[in-house]
Every structure is written in C-alpha cells, then in structure tokens.
Structure 1
Amino acid sequence: MKTMWMKRGFGVSGLLGALLVVAGCSMAPTYETPAVSMPTAFKEAALASHEAGTWKPAQPSEAVARGEWWKAFGDATLDRLETEALAANQSLKAAAARVKEARGVQQQARAGLFPKIDAGFGPTREKASPASQGLPADGNVAPQTLWRAQATVAYEVDLFGRVSDSIAAARADADQSEALFRSVQLALQADVAQNYFNLRELDAEQDLFTRTVTLRAEALKLVQRRFEEGDIGELDVARAKAELATAQSDALAVARLRAASEHSLAILLGKTPAEFDMPARPLVPVGVQIPAGLPSALLERRPDIAAAERAMAAANARIGVAKSAFFPSLSLTGAGGFEAGSLGDLFKWSSRTFLLGPLAGTMLSLPIFDGGARSGNLARARAQYEEDVANYRQQVLVAFQEVEDNLSNLRLLSDQTRAQGDAVKASNRAAQLSRTQYQEGSISYLEVIDAERSVLQSQRSAVQLAGAQAVSTVNLIRALGGGWGDAGGPATSPQQSAPQSLTPATVAAR
C-alpha cells in the first residue's frame, strides 16, 4: 500500500513538474510583418525629377523642434494656431484618453503574472454534517458561529502561454492606440494648416472682389457721365449697374464662405466661433517643395500604418490565447489566518488555521467537451488576424496612392499656375485695350464687360490655384507621415502637446 501511494505521489508530482516546465510557452504563431508589394520609387517623384531637375532637400533646421513640420511654411500665425490646437482640441484629448484606457488594459493583463492576495474578516453560521464529524447518521451536530480573519492567495500558473499571450495582445493594443493617437494628431495638424490656407485663399478672393467692386463703381460713374453728356445710350448704364451689383453679390458670397471657414478653424482650436476672430490677410503663394523620399519610409513614418501593424500583432497573440484554451489550466490557491467560535478567541495562537488547494472546484482543470466553443473562438481569432493582415496591406496601398496623388497634384498645379499667370497678363492687356477702344467709340460697352469679366475670372482662378497648391503641399506632408528627413526620433507621447517623431526640413531647393 505504501509503495502504491508513493507511486501515485510520484505520478502527481511528476505531472505537476511537467506542467510547470511548459509554463509560459506561447501557443501563438511566430509573428512576422506580412510582405507588401512596394515600388522602389514613387512614379510621380520620378516624373518631377525628369521634368524639373532632381530634388535636393535642405538640411534640417536645428531651431525647429522635431515633427513641427508646419514651421517649414515660415508663417508665425500658423505656428500659433497649431500650438493652440494641440493644447485644446477635444478630439485629440479623446484620443489621448483612449491611450490611457489601453494602457490600463495592458496593466490589467500584466497583473496575471502575479498572485492575487486578499484579506477578510467576519462571522459565518454553519452546521456540519454528522458524517464529516465521524458520527452516526442520526448524530446531532449543533450549529455554530465561526469567526474568521484570514488572507487568501490565488495564482494561475501560466500554462501554455495564456497569460503571456494575453499580455502581448494588450501590449500591442496599447501600441496601436498610441499610433492612432499620433494619427489623430497628424490629421489635426494637417486640418489646421488646410483650413488656415483656405481662409487665406478666401481673403485673397475677398480682396480681389473688393478691388473689382471699386473698379466697377468707377466704371459706372464714367458710363453715367457719358450718358448724361449724350454720348451713349441708357443700355450701357444698365449694363454697368448690373456688373457692379454682380460683383457685390460675388463679394458677399466669398464673405459667407470665409465666415464658415473661420468657424471651422475655431472648432479645431477647441473654441466656439464667438471666441475666435482671424484678421483678413490675403494668401501668399507657398514655395515649399517637399521631397517624397523612398516608398519604404512610409512603413516607418505613417502612424496609421503603424496602427494597422500593431493590430495584426495583437490578433496574432490572441490566436495563442485561443489555442491555450484547449490545454489544462493550473490554479494554486491557499488561505491562512485564524478561526474561532467566539470573537474573543479569534486571535489566539491555538485558533490559527490554513487551507491549501481550492475551496471549490479543482486545482488542475482539463477541458473535455464544450460543444465546439473553443474551436469557434480559435477560428474567430484566426479570421480576425487574416482581416487585420488585409487591412494592413490595404492601408499601405492607400498610403502609396495618397503620396502619388499629391505629388501629381503639385507637379501639375505648378504648370497650371504658370499658364494661369500668362492668362492673367493677357486678360489684363485685353481689358486695357477694350477700355481704350470703347472710349474712342470703336467698340460697344458689352465687349468691355466681357474683357473685364475675363480679367476677374482669370485672377480668381490664379488665387484658387495658389490655395490648392498650399493645401496639396500640406496633404503631401500628411501623406508622407507628418514630416521628412530623419524619422528615428522618439515617439510622440499623448501627454505632450507637440509631436516629436519626425524631423522637418526647411524649404527644399531644386
């Protein structure tokens, strides 16, 4: 009998020893970032180099903080607006709160590596069975009140990596949340810059219409005087009045658009529209030229791609968690303290007690049948990983498209701006000649009106092209991940008001 118990004891201890050996072994597949199809260079960058020479990035300015790419535009007002937005934008604050939430989940998962210790105190009223006291079946056992003061310890051995894989998944989720924070931050910075340049474009249009209204009013006075002198008919006066009223209406339409743009900018800054007012200042054409760099750099610099990659890592770790459910789990529990029939005897040395092993259930649990629940959970985890892989590859493709789109926009906008400049010069000359010929009586006033309309349209198109060029420059910087140059700096913290992940360059020269 003794030999048999020794063999059984050896078998139990051997089993526990074997289980402890596999403790912490992860069941998750080995994680590797999926391969993506990547060009060696951007197509539009090659076209720009062929048509306009090779881009030569200027050296980064030491006075510019890392990641403050908007300072490349050299606009103090824009610098101030970016700082205010980073400090007060509510969407950014919500993203920072989500980072804290993810870190809390990570801390909660990491707690599984340590035992849980609790303490309790209080009485219980109980009646033991006669059999448990070694009495006959009809034995009378009186109920009794027991006072207990004890501490309990519970610890789950990390068999087959369930706990460690859960921690890895929570860590990847936290990293993803931080990358999404940087993505929201970059989107906010770009939105502020785009709204700012859009506002300045509308200021330029408003200035153009103000000058146009002045010119139309002077033209009306001239026509009115000639009508009073009998040189022309009333038709020319009516046409001049219509042109003046049309210019005034167009000026009011631009003012309406500017008010809405100013309100949008106020919201980005975390202010109500009533608290924000931006003095008018016409747009100065942006001359910043951004080198695209290598396509592979996007995988390192774009926070949305980093977030997609971290989502894959978390899904991969959760496959390990789902697999570990098919294997035994080992929980070690214990309790120790004092137990007595009266409160006065509770803390006497003779009242000490302890318990090793679970009070209910078993120490070692082996799953046998659950109707396919674990298999379904594993299939779901694998499908989630496949979905995240597809999302990651799609995000990379979208990033390449955004860079190519904005490179082509800037290349074609540059050519279009030069052509539009020629159109402005030609229309101005045509309007000047038409006014001279009208005063000489060789053409009708209708031809003067057509010429002046062409001037206004060409000038307005030039202003809109300048605004589109500024916005496309911002979009390119955003598509490149928020800056250019060395991308190996420290990551942005949600507690910081300014990013520090990328180094901006000053204006690039051809």
Structure 2
Amino acid sequence: MISKKLLMTPLLAVLVLAGCASVPVAEPHALPTTPASFKHKALPASATLAQADWWKTFADPQLDALTERALAHNTSLQQAAARLAQARALLRSTEANRALQLGASAGASRQGGDAARAAGSAGTVYTAGVNLSYEIDVMGRLSKASSAAALDAQASEQLLQSARLLVQADVAQAYFALRALDAERALMRETVAAYQDTLRLTERRHAAGDIAELDVVRVRTEVAATQSQALALDRRRAELEHALAVLAGELPSSLSVAEGVWVETLPNVPAGLPSTVLERRPDVAAAQSAMRAAQARLGVAQTAWFPSLALTASAGGASPELSDLFKSSAGLWGLNALLNLPILDGGRREAGVQSAAAQLDLAAAGYREQVLQAFRDVEDQLSALTLLQAQAEVQAQAVASATRALQLSDSRYRNGLVSQLELLDARRSELANRRQALQVRAAQYQSTVGLIKALGGGWG
C-alpha cells in the first residue's frame, strides 16, 4: 500500500503543476488600437466587388489575361506555395509526436568464451518483438507545440494569399503604366508630326527668302528632341513589358503586349471602416498568426521546468532456435512508466524561456508594425486619390488653355504676325501640359490599385 502511495505522489505533483502552466498573451498596450475613421475620406463608391477578382472591375480583357497567367505561373507564388506545403508537413510531424508510437524489432546475437559457456549462455539468441510508447501530455507541451505549428501553417497560408494580392497588384500597376506610356507615345508621335508640318512650312518660307536659316534649324532641333523623347518612352515600355513577362513566370522574349488605349473605367474605391483593413489584409493576419505562434512556443519553453511522463510497453520473444521464436514458451513482455524531471542543466531551460519571450516580443512588434503600415497604406492612397482628382481638374484647364494658345500662335505664325519662337514656345507648353495630364491620370490608376491592395484586395 505504501508503494502505491509513493508511486502516485509524483503523478499528483505533475497534475498540480499542470494547473500552473498557461500560455502568456501579448500585452494589450503593445498592440495598436483601431481608429474610428480614416483621416482622409474615400470617394463615393461606383461599384461593389468580391476580393477574388478585383482587377476585373477595370473591364480590360488584356489585364484579365495577364493576371491569370501570373497567378498560374508566377515564381514568387510557387515559392510561397512550397513554404506552405513545408509548414503543413511540419505540422503533421509535430502532431505525430502526440500519437501512439509503434515499432517492430528483430535481431540475433551470439555469445562465446569460457565465461559464457560456464554460465550456459553461449550460442546464438534470436529476438523479435513490438514496442509501444506514448507520452502523456500532462503539461501541455505537445499540444502547445502542435498549436504553434498549426499557427505557422496558417501564417504561411496567409502569406501565400498576400503574395497573390501583391502579384495581382504588381501586374495591374505595370500594365497601367504600360498603357500610360502608350498614350504618351501616341502624344509624342502626334507632336512630332506637328513639328514636321511646321518644319515643312518653315523650309518653304526659307526657300522663298522670307525667313533666315536659323528658323529652320530651330524647328529641326525640336523635331529631333521630340523624337529622342519618344525613343526614351519606347525603352521604358520595353522594360515594363519585360517586367510583366517575369511576373507571368515567362521569358521576356516570349511575351508581347500590343499597343492599346487606356480603359475608361476607373472605379472609386470606398475604404469602409478601418477595422475591415485588419480583417481583409492577409499580411496583417499572417503577422497576428506569427505572434500567436510565438505565444504558444513560449508556453512550450516554460513546460521544460516541469516533469514529463512517458509510458512504454514491449512484447516479443527470445530463443536460441529461430523456429521456437514465436512459441509461447519464448514470450517476453514489459511495461514501463518514466517520470523525468531535469534538476541541473546549466541554465539551458532559463535561456530557452528567455529566447522564446524575446521571440514573442519580436513577433508582437512585427504585428504592431504591420498594422500601422496597413493604415498608412490606406491613408496614403486615400489622400493621393483626393489630391489627384483635384489636380486632374486643374490640369485639364491648363491643357485647354495651352491648346487654345497653340491654335492662336499657329494661326498668327502662318499669317506672319508672330515669330517662330512664339509658336515653338506655345507648342512646347501644350506638349508639357498634355503629358502632365497623362501622368496625373496614370497616377490615379496607380493609386486606385494601391488602395485596393491596401484594403486587402477588395471592398463592398
């Protein structure tokens, strides 16, 4: 009776200590609070869209095709998917530690010598059996480790979603930048044609002796300078086309995007409530999962101070004759319970706890930073869209005035009322303002895609 009490005492102590083990949580003050509203207001909504295919709201079949190709073959997505598969495999490996372990063994040993013969143990002995082991998760170490691995897998899945969103946004922004260059290149060709028309007129007047050669040289300079700017735009377009190819997981030489025009649909994206940003953005969710995994691992480290209890069992046989190995007379079996409690370890357990605590602090700071960055991204794009809308309206007035000034200058020059310098200056002003208007429009597209990305890939 006394021996049973002595056997139960360590088990009772373990159960009592188990009640003291708990997973720590991040301090509330370490996490950012969600604001009641955004600093900058969103524009009125013109469409509602699901997160899965937000790019389709631009109604551009070429963009749809490029995005689908990127989602199917992008190498960054393939890497993120491989990391997810790795995390899920690690989760299965961690959960296997909580299951019953079963193994089989077989062997043969031979003993000889005078001492063995004197003891009657000389000869060959064959053994075979099965071994079972199971660790009782008294302190929750295994469950906490499994929970941490599950959160790691969850974070990897969320990072894969974040990678998809990033690829979608990169494709859209590169595509709209390319279309902006197409519009700018068309404007440059139109301007070159206008300069060439002016050059022909100037050459005729010079041939007639009405003007000096200097006027001809000036127009030729403008023609060449504008053609040079057009070639620079061609080079930038080629680079964007190559970037789209890499995003699609293809060789730059294998992808071509035919010159086209901008789509007319530029959706107004409602930002909604600030809390929805945290719900939608997969990178924020991944940072939160990483923080929770770090909390679980700190709990695992703390369980190192408590004892572990393992049960093992074995059954089999041993015989000097292989034919007698599985007879009942050769049977062996055994049961064991092992309670293990480290006492002196040179500070290893304390260092493990401190390391896990530091990892939790790091993960909490990373989560806080991700949340702050998410709100900054939204505020940046909201303010940009508001100011770009106002800039576009003012720039449209500048384009209209510059175009009218060019018309008047061209008419007066053809009638000999003004100098060539006034005409060239008016044309340069009109070109600069029209290019600026295109760049403002391009920035509106970039900011719209940026806002969609900042909101986690959709709205509604």
SS for the counterpart of 2:246 is helix
TM-aligned CA deviation for residue 22 of structure 1: 6.7
The whole-number CA distance in structure 1 between the counterparts of 2:27 and 2:108 is 56
Q: Does 1:435 align with 2:398?
A: no
Distance of aligned partners of 1:129 and 1:402 in 2 relative to their CA distance in 1, 3 Å threshold: farther
SS for the counterpart of 1:464 is helix
The whole-number CA distance in structure 2 between the counterparts of 1:129 and 1:167 is 54
Aligned to 1:210: 189
SS for the counterpart of 2:33 is coil
Q: Does 1:181 align with 2:160?
A: yes
Cα pair 2:58 2:263 within 8 Å, conserved: no
Aligned to 1:36: 32
TM-aligned CA deviation for residue 312 of structure 1: 0.9
Deviations 1:358-389 (A, max 9, x none): 8xxxx111110111110011011111111111
TM-aligned CA deviation for residue 314 of structure 1: 0.5
The whole-number CA distance in structure 2 between the counterparts of 1:442 and 1:129 is 131
The whole-number CA distance in structure 2 between the counterparts of 1:293 and 1:15 is 57
The whole-number CA distance in structure 1 between the counterparts of 2:398 and 2:45 is 31
TM-score (norm 1): 0.85
Distance of aligned partners of 1:30 and 1:466 in 2 relative to their CA distance in 1, 3 Å threshold: closer
SS for the counterpart of 2:305 is coil
SS for the counterpart of 1:442 is coil
Aligned to 2:137: 158
Q: Does 1:171 align with 2:150?
A: yes
Count residues with an aligned counterpart: 459
Cα pair 2:111 2:121 within 8 Å, conserved: no
Cα pair 1:26 1:320 within 8 Å, conserved: yes
Q: Does 1:228 align with 2:207?
A: yes
The whole-number CA distance in structure 1 between the counterparts of 2:420 and 2:24 is 81
Out of 4, 7, 31, which is 1:9 matched to?
Answer: 4
Aligned to 2:228: 249
Q: Percent identity?
A: 45
TM-aligned CA deviation for residue 229 of structure 1: 1.1
The whole-number CA distance in structure 1 between the counterparts of 2:231 and 2:96 is 63
SS for the counterpart of 2:298 is helix
1:273 alignment partner AA: P
Distance of aligned partners of 1:56 and 1:470 in 2 relative to their CA distance in 1, 3 Å threshold: closer
The whole-number CA distance in structure 1 between the counterparts of 2:369 and 2:349 is 30
SS for the counterpart of 2:40 is helix
Deviations 1:291-315 (A, max 9, x none): 1111111111111110111011101
Cα pair 2:31 2:364 within 8 Å, conserved: no
CA-atom RMSD, angstroms? 2.3
Cα pair 1:283 1:467 within 8 Å, conserved: no
Structure with bigger helix share is 2
SS for the counterpart of 1:68 is helix
Out of 296, 300, 321, which is 2:300 matched to?
Answer: 321
SS for the counterpart of 2:52 is coil
Aligned ranges 1:121-132 → 2 under 5 Å: 121-126=106-111
Cα pair 2:309 2:340 within 8 Å, conserved: yes
Aligned ranges 1:94-493 → 2 under 5 Å: 94-126=79-111, 140=119, 142-357=121-336, 363-485=338-460
TM-aligned CA deviation for residue 9 of structure 1: 2.6
1:169 alignment partner AA: A
TM-aligned CA deviation for residue 58 of structure 1: 4.1
Cα pair 2:301 2:353 within 8 Å, conserved: yes
Q: Which runs of 5+ in 2 are unaligned?
A: none
Aligned ranges 1:69-84 → 2 under 5 Å: 69-84=54-69
Q: Which runs of 5+ in 1 are unaligned?
A: 1-5, 50-54, 486-510
1:301 alignment partner AA: R
Q: Which moved more, 1:29-38 or 1:206-215?
A: 29-38
TM-aligned CA deviation for residue 317 of structure 1: 0.6
Cα pair 1:169 1:317 within 8 Å, conserved: yes
The whole-number CA distance in structure 2 between the counterparts of 1:218 and 1:423 is 24
2:71 alignment partner AA: L
Distance of aligned partners of 1:129 and 1:380 in 2 relative to their CA distance in 1, 3 Å threshold: farther
The whole-number CA distance in structure 2 between the counterparts of 1:57 and 1:448 is 43
